Chains A and B, each alone.
Chain A
Amino acid sequence: MATSEPTATEAVQHTVGREVIVEVKALQKYFGRNHVLKGVDLQVRKGEVIVLIGPSGSGKSTFLRCLNFLEDPTTGEIEIGGVHVVCGSHGGTFKKDVHQIRMKCGMVFQEFNLFPHKDATENVTEGPILVKGEKKDEAIEKAHALLTKVGLADRMDFFPSQLSGGQKQRVAIARAMAMDPVLMLFDEPTSALDPELIGEVLKVMKDLAAQGMTMIVVSHEMGFSRDVADRVVYMDDGYFVEEGPPSEVFYHPKDDRTRRFLRHILPEKEPEHAKELGITEVDQELPSPDDAPAQGSVGAAFSEDNLADTAIPEIPLSDGAAGFTPMPPGDENL
């Protein structure tokens, strides 16, 4: 693993020079008098995977939800996939732009939010049919392809109540992908899952990243971040405190707050030893990176060879250890 893993600089390097898909400038958000986002800037290039970490209430989720206007940002500018919106305005143009941005963003929620009265296929086809006006047969065909990709070929006509948490979340990912988004937003996608189900969802996300999907992920899955993220952003009190390649931010944090926070997340050792610890643990638990195709090779992740891996429960998730992340109890809400 150590040899095939791109170094920190490589991880950032491989997207340098690509077009900028997301441009956020001076984003601020108030909830009443509560100042949640205090001026946040972010630039994401095509194919980049950004992982947001930070303590509870630091504004990670709010930031993510502001990107597709589930929360209306107070001021700032957001440009996604060429659609530029000045926040805090209103009116017809604003609404139209927000709609455009929502169509370009796929979002995956912590609580899945599948439509309980529709089966897996209908959940996926809802957007394409209603919003994009796709023909029903075509939409269903596409939905079946997507559900097969996320390893749910045998669950297509199941209702959400008949699916496990991990399966629900994979349907949710397929639902978001059905809109052909340029950017995927993941809001703590694995926090509501039982430990043994986390792996199957992370696997799908990894495949997506490998396929070249641009992603912004709020997550404390350290293994995932270390393997997939191009940049990790530490957020605290409404600011981006520190950002950089995962190896930098996790194991050589510059800011005191980052260090304090990581002490909670990483095993209770000195930060100097954390790297060593983290890697040995993750090595046991993650599927070997050799299984995953090289980053950026679009479609390879979902090629025939990899389907067997995606089908649950064949994935070699772990040796029985509880999940990927050495997260201490009590920090689930981070």
Chain B
Amino acid sequence: MKRRAWVANLALFAAVLAVLVTALTPVALAAGTTSPSPSSAAAATVPKGTPIVVGVVPDPQNSGQAWTGDRVSVNLVSNGASTGPNGQILNNAGLDLAKCKVFINGREQALSSPPSTIALAPASPTLQFLLAKTYPNGSYDFRVTIVTTRGKTVEHSWKFTSKGAASGGSLINIAVMKQWFWYIAGGAIITVELTIVSIILASIFALFGALGRLSKKMTFRQAWDRYGSREYMFRMVLGRIPYWLATFYTSLFRGTPLLLQIYVIYYGAPEVVRAIGLGGAHPPAFMQQYLGYADNWNPPPFVAGVAALSLNYGAYLTEVFRAGIQAVPKGQNEAAWAIGLSGWQTQRRVVLPQAFKIVIPAIGNDFIALIKDTSLVSVITVEELLQRSQLAGAASMNFFSTLLVAAAFYWALTIFFSFWQAKLENRMARDKARERERR
């Protein structure tokens, strides 16, 4: 019975995935030379430090609706190695600018100044050619040759009619969706990683937060009436510190917006380190080795994102855990004390295992919510689902289609995890019912 349920669930998820994949996988990849697309294959094989061409518009400032006629801009998606931690472009985005060329109607164009890279969005550098002459409205064939410092050449060509859309045209553009599917799917993997790492850390924060919140046994007034000892009161103040810390933590993180916390941690962390003066000029070796820190205190976007998400969700889960611990009958504590267990042994061996069982459904709930809240860390350039679909939208000039793909991914993920969450809750409800029956 159980086994069959398992199989059915997996089959459901596989079916959802299969539908998505078959609908959107670029078939053109095998046949396609019509448009040199920055497909997943390219993304996977491009060596580190090499930018990937993701799309081209004659003039990004005019969103392809009209062409100023005096410049051609190429949107690139860097693989991250050529952008700095704050999104600035390093080393010309890994391009050998002198060798980059632009052709209009098959003719190489003279430039008013050498090609340059500009950053319109972090992690998304733009290669810009300023033309020597200004073209009038009309229909043109464009082609660019982009050469990287490692000698790799990428060609890209397209047709453009001034005062018309740059490409495609239909609202839901299946071709664009296919073209960007695997790129966006890569973002979905980052999103799941963010969610899982964050919920685990959040649970750990919540555990200590809840123990802190519950460490208050009596008020100062009661203690004074009871013992009337200054020394006792002093020790009680020290013992109250975990409670204060936990209260401060939950209050702060539940009282401010998650988006703000993300910004503060990402941009503020290096300033805090500098201001406090702790940690020296360089982060310790293990942070560089395992957390991906550069030789400065700017946190990598993924790390900052995980920190913000887990702290925020930890604050909410603290209250959940507190309620879970309090839901364990008091008699369990007493029974443990009566056989001589210490306070910590009682928590570890008796209370927490039972509390954990109680809070699992609530963690599942927050897990589902967290999947969607990870989209907020796109603002600090983490290339998760939303960020990638935005980049793809900017490159293909078809935001609606690429965002739709992202929406489908979010939806599929939530359906998948909700399904398991419901299963888990059912199972626990059954256990409880059985327990009642036996009693």
* Chain A residues within 8 Å of B, Cβ to Cβ: 65, 68, 70, 74, 88-91, 99, 102-103, 105-107, 109, 111, 113-117, 126-127, 130-132, 161-165, 172, 175-176, 178-179
Q: Check: B338 CB closer than 8 A to any chain A CB.
A: yes
Q: Inside 8 A of A179's CB, which chain B residues have their CB?
A: 339-340
Q: Which residues of A contact B226 (CB under 8 A)?
A: 74, 88
Tell me the complex Cα distance, A169–B435, Å.
Answer: 16
Answer whether A106 and B338 are a contact pair too, CB < 8 Å, given A113-B331, A161-B439. yes
With a CB–CB cut-off of 8 A, which chain B residues contact A115?
Answer: 332, 335-336, 350
What mask results when residues 214 to 258 of chain B are scored 1 for a CB within 8 Å of chain A, else 0?
A: 000000000000110100100000000000000000000000000
**Closest-CB distance, B411 to chain A (whole angstroms):** 37
* Complex: A132 Cα to B342 Cα, angstroms: 12
Total B residues in contact with A, Cβ cutoff 8 Å: 26
Give CA–CA (A113, B339) in the complex, Å: 12
Cα separation A88 to B226 with both chains bound (whole Å): 8
CA distance A172 to B345 in the complex (A): 19
- Please report B residues at the A interface, Cβ cutoff 8 Å: 226-227, 229, 232, 329, 331-332, 334-342, 345, 349-350, 353-354, 357, 434-435, 438-439
Known contacts A88-B226, A116-B354, A161-B439; is-contact A127 B339 (Cβ 8 Å): yes
A175 to B: closest C-beta gap in Å:
7
Given contacts A106-B338, A111-B331, A116-B354, contact A90 B229 (CB under 8 A): yes
Whole-angstrom distance between the alpha carbons of A226 and B425 in the complex? 50
* Given A117-B353, A117-B354, A130-B341, 16 more pairs with CB closer than 8 A: A65-B334, A68-B337, A70-B334, A88-B227, A102-B338, A102-B339, A103-B340, A109-B331, A115-B335, A126-B339, A127-B341, A164-B438, A175-B335, A176-B339, A178-B339, A179-B339
- The answer, among A65, A89, A106, A126, for a CB contact under 8 Å with B349, is A126
What residues on A are CB-neighbors of B345 within 8 Å? Answer: 130-131
Which residue in chain A gives the minimum CB-CB distance to B236? Answer: A90
Given the known A-B contacts A127-B339, A131-B340, are A116 and B331 also in contact in the complex, defined by CB atoms under 8 Å? no
Closest A residue to B338 using CB positions: A107
- Cα–Cα, bound, A179→B350 (Å): 17
- Closest CB-CB distance, A150 to chain B, in whole Å? 16
List of A residues within 8 angstroms of B340 by Cβ: 99, 102-103, 127, 131-132, 179
In the complex, what distance in Å separates the CA atom of A161 from the CA atom of B337? 22
User: Are A131 and B339 touching (Cβ within 8 A)?
Assistant: yes
Bound together, the chains give a CA A164 to CA B338 distance in angstroms of 22
